[in-house]
Amino acid sequence: ACSYEVRVFGVRSAMSIARALRLCPQAQLLPVRMSRYQEASAAVFRIFSRYTDRIEPVSSDEAFLDLTGCERLFGAAATVAAQIRAEVRQELGLTVSAGVAPNKFLAKLASEAAKPDGLLELLPAAVEQFLLPLPVGRLWGVGAVTAERLRRQGVETVAALRGVDKALLRRWFGSSGELLWFLARGEDDRPVQAVEGAKSIGAEETFAHDLSDPDELRRELLALAERVARRVRRLQLVGCCLTLKVRYADFETVTRSQTLAEGIDHAPALCQEAEALLARTEAGRRPVRLLGVTLSRLCAKGIGQQSLFQADGERKEALDQALDHLHRRFGEGGVCRASLLGRRLPLQPEED
With b for 16 or more beta-carbon neighbours within 10 A and e for fewer, the 265-301 pattern comes to: bbbbbbbebbbebbeebebbeebbbbbbbbbbebeee
With b for 16 or more beta-carbon neighbours within 10 A and e for fewer, the 115-147 pattern comes to: eeeebbbbeeeebeebbeebebebbeebbebbb
Q: What span, in angstroms and rounded, lies between the C-alpha atoms of 225 and 202?
A: 9
**What angle is formed at CA 34 by the lines to CA 28 and CA 37, rounded to 5 degrees?**
90
73-to-48, 50, 87, 191 alpha-carbon distances in Å: 15, 11, 17, 21
DSSP single-letter state for residue 305: P
Q: What span, in angstroms and rounded, lies between the C-alpha atoms of 53 and 155?
A: 40
Q: What span, in angstroms and rounded, lies between the C-alpha atoms of 147 and 153?
A: 10
**What angle is formed at CA 60 by the lines to CA 56 and CA 66, rounded to 5 degrees?**
20
> Which pairing describes strands 288-300 and 200-211: parallel, antiparallel, or unpaired?
antiparallel
Q: What span, in angstroms and rounded, lies between the C-alpha atoms of 324 and 227?
A: 11
Catalytic (active-site) positions: 62
Q: What span, in angstroms and rounded, lies between the C-alpha atoms of 131 and 139?
A: 10
